[in-house]
Chains A and B, each alone.
Chain A
Amino acid sequence: MLAQYSDLLFMAAVGVYVLAMVLHAAEFAVARSAKPVLVGAGGPDTVERPARGERYARMAVSLTVLGAALHTASIVARGIAAQRWPLGNMYEFTSAICLAAVVGWLVMLRRSPVTRAVGPFVLLPVVVLLFLAGTVLYAQAAPVVPALQSYWLVIHVTTITISSGLLLVPGVASVLFLVRGAGWLTDRLPSSDVLDRLAYRVTIIAFPLFTFAVIAGAIWAEAAWGRFWGWDPKETVAFVSWVIYAAYLHARATAGWRATRAAWINVAGFATVLFNLFFINMVVAGLHSYAGLG
């Protein structure tokens, strides 16, 4: 019963996100057609948008907030329905990653409104992932196997989820940085500097959290599997992601690597996170095969 509500809320959230994207797109279109009258050399944040475009953009953001609220409710309902922490299979896991990405994005937007034009590009992968979660990955709400019955599930998987979700934002910002660097969408996107800073700021929060999550995983593995680290495929790819994000941070402090190359590294980092989530869960068998895809 509650599980059905959870599913309905999930679908509603996806619908609202899609609508928010449509409004963002409408804003783009309006701003585009109105472009000739606009003045301003300092990038889109200093360009006066026509009131209509501005209204669309605000509505898009409000809808994103609404979507996040529905999304949260869906996850909570799922947890109550299954009577456990709602991170027990890939459907739940992917859904929560997307929520973390959206919420992380909204928080950044609040702190730095000039990044608003990044919104649709955060929503796009979120909607795609949620679509996959709701279709291919979907699993009934059910209890989890003995190895997962531990408070470490809450600690490890929640932090992994939040950090993976947060890392989506720098991933998107870095892609946009590269897109902009290639000369596309330069009139629509925030300046390179803003994008670069967005990527960096979120990464330095998500990376320590990811580190914590991996350590928590190791502590759990020591209790559940008999060793804290065994180069299981999921552990190995987590290690690879970790090393790549470490390289990103180092690149940001190395002359000649700061901007474009750092952005590439960040994109590569997020690619390995996605790879770990999908490929390793679905193709490579390992101890982490709790995906519920049976």
Chain B
Amino acid sequence: MVTDTPVRATPARTPPPGWTALRNAWRSLTSMRTALVLLFLLALAAMPGALLPQRSLNQRLVDQYFTDYPTLAPLLDRVGAFDVFAAPWFAAIYLLLMTSLIGCVLPRTFDDARALRARPVATPRNLARLPHHGGGTVDAGLDDAAARVRGRLRGWRVAEREEGAGRTLSAEKGYSREVGNLVFHLSLVGLLIGFAAGKLFGYEGQVIVPAGGGEFCNTGILGYDSFRAGTLVDGTDLAPFCVRVDDFTATYLPTGQPDRYDAALGYQTGADLDAGRADEWRSFPLSVNNPLRTDGARVYLLGNGYAPIFTVTFPNGDVRTGDVQWRPVDQATLLSEGATKFEPPGVTDDEQRRTGQLAVTGLLAPTTSGGDVVTSVFPDLRDPEVAIDVLRGDLGLDDGRGQSIFEVDAAQVESGELVRVARENLVPGQSVTLDDGTEIRFDGVRRWVNLQISHDPGQVWVLVFAVTMLAGLAASLGVRRRRFWARLTPSDQPGRTVVELGGLARTDRAGYGEEFDRLRADLLEPDVVKDP
């Protein structure tokens, strides 16, 4: 970014007033001061994103905020305070900043490229006036002294000039600082573009898969439990690969703190499927820090839980088994709740069907506390027990409204169309029999895992630009741009040369002194000078 705008040749004709205004606006947009203000704005604008609940992270907390602050929340919502990072004003700030940055850095690059071709500037008349300077007389002729200086300035860009009977050497070093600066700022732009591309073309979906053989194929949005996609993704051409969860194990410390989660995964790539190898599975050990990467997508192990298995034997002898997942309500003990729903078998009459549906709801403790009130004391599956209510009646599945798989429709219970017909605590193998002879047996528990499948075509570019940004940053902060001059004049005594030295750091005030002192010592103190 430029500190002082270089003055360009003014056009001979007076430009139209609109043009002047435009040019002034551009100038002030690309000035350092504006960049600073925009940086502050960006920092300030991001803060609500950390302090207020955000929809993109947790809709529930946002709803809670609306309940807690009923007057304030809608106002905040109107300015996008719950979607800060998608808000137009946030985008406006960083887009302006990027524009300012480009307008600032590019012209400067051209100037630098020019400077790179130019010879280092002529030696100032009075070196003693520079912030770093020194002088003395050395035991060497003019040519030797000059050679010595040149030898010491290896790695510098040096220009040698005749001056009267003597000679001057001007040297400059640290051009990579400007290169680094340029790389840094342009990388930022690249990073932003990569980020944006990921948001536009990427997707992210979650799906619960039962362990012990459950399969999921990435063929369409409908297979997912939840799906979030970029604006330019319509879900019609997802990379078609399949995964199968062969096994899942969780290990816990005695305190109940989780130690490891491991899922043994089988998978088939899109190429496998195309080649018709549909019955061969590659295996992959999926764990928390080890996602599966295939077909441009990543598969993550995000969570896990339990699904109780209930077998219902209907009075007519028909048997149905349900093992739908229940959801953890307490992450520490994995106490879970849910609703396993059954349709009466072989019933064609709608009316009859609607009064005979069953739901088994309640709590599942993977390691039960025992006693009448079932709670869980440990997250692992050691000693499971369920505390269930059996409801019979109309589950309300047919009324077209979507229904949570974890609970029954409370409205159906309130209206009396769904009635509790039993309440029991069961351990595996135990069963409860309803008044009509229906028997419900708790058979055991199956584990499930929550997988996330993500696709982000921009992220590799973000990484590339993050790395170049860091390299550029290191160069632009670590390298000092500095100048060094030597004026050599023949001394009155033959065979000796008067040496005057001067140095100037061009970029910041910190830390050219020591290097200059070493240069001075090497060039002026004869015993330190090693003869070339």
Q: Are B195 and A229 in contact (CB under 8 A)?
A: yes
Interface residues of B in 30-83 (CB under 8 A from A): 32-33, 35-36, 39-40, 42-43, 46-47, 49-51, 54, 56-57
Report chain B residues within 8 Å CB of A46.
none
Q: Are A223 and B302 in contact (CB under 8 A)?
A: no
Whether A280 is near chain B, meaning CB under 8 Å from some CB there, is yes
Whether B225 is near chain A, meaning CB under 8 Å from some CB there, is no
Q: Are B1 and A253 in contact (CB under 8 A)?
A: yes
Report chain B residues within 8 Å CB of A233.
49-51
Closest B residue to A222 using CB positions: B459
Whether B276 is near chain A, meaning CB under 8 Å from some CB there, is no
Min Cβ gap B44→A in Å is: 8
Interface residues, chain A, CB within 8 Å of chain B? 142-143, 145-147, 149-150, 152, 193, 197, 200-201, 204, 207-208, 211-212, 215, 218-220, 222-233, 236-237, 239-240, 243-244, 246-247, 249-255, 257, 272, 280, 284, 286
Q: How far is the CA of A166 from the CA of B466 in the complex (A)?
A: 22
Considering the complex of A and B, which 9 residue pairs feature the smallest CB-CB distances, nearest first? A236-B50, A247-B39, A150-B289, A146-B288, A204-B477, A233-B50, A243-B43, A226-B300, A254-B32
Interface residues of B in 256-288 (CB under 8 A from A): 257-261, 287-288
Q: Are A149 and B260 in contact (CB under 8 A)?
A: yes
Closest A residue to B188 using CB positions: A246
Report chain A residues within 8 Å CB of B1.
250, 253
Q: A208-B473, A243-B39 are in contact. Are A252 and B257 (CB under 8 A)?
A: no
Of the listed stretches B152-160, B338-346, B507-515, chain A binds: B507-515
Q: A146-B288, A246-B39, A254-B3 are in contact. Are A215 and B466 (CB under 8 A)?
A: yes
Q: A146-B288, A250-B39 are in contact. Are A226 and B204 (CB under 8 A)?
A: yes
Q: How far is the CA of A232 from the CA of B46 in the complex (A)?
A: 11
Min Cβ gap B224→A in Å is: 14
Report chain A residues within 8 Å CB of B40.
244, 247
Interface residues of B in 160-209 (CB under 8 A from A): 195, 204
Q: Are A231 and B477 in contact (CB under 8 A)?
A: no
Q: How far is the CA of A224 from the CA of B452 in the complex (A)?
A: 11
Provide 18 A-B residue pairs closer than 8 Å at the C-beta atoms, listed in order of the A residue. Answer: A145-B257, A146-B288, A149-B289, A208-B473, A218-B466, A226-B204, A227-B456, A228-B462, A228-B463, A230-B56, A231-B85, A236-B49, A240-B50, A244-B40, A250-B1, A251-B36, A254-B33, A272-B43
Interface band, chain B: 35 or more
Q: A146-B258, A200-B510, A219-B463 are in contact. Are A247 and B36 (CB under 8 A)?
A: yes
Report chain B residues within 8 Å CB of A147.
288-289
Report chain B residues within 8 Å CB of A220.
289
Q: How far is the CA of A197 from the CA of B1 in the complex (A)?
A: 21
Report chain B residues within 8 Å CB of A254.
3, 32-33, 36
Report chain A residues within 8 Å CB of B510.
197, 200-201, 204
Whether B298 is near chain A, meaning CB under 8 Å from some CB there, is yes
Most chain A beta-carbon contacts within 10 A, residue among B43, B54, B463: B43
Report chain B residues within 8 Å CB of A231.
49, 54, 56-57, 84-85
Report chain B residues within 8 Å CB of A224.
288-289
Most chain A beta-carbon contacts within 10 A, residue among B4, B462, B507: B462
Report chain B residues within 8 Å CB of A219.
463
Whether B474 is near chain A, meaning CB under 8 Å from some CB there, is yes
Report chain B residues within 8 Å CB of A227.
204, 454, 456
Q: Are B46 and A236 in contact (CB under 8 A)?
A: yes
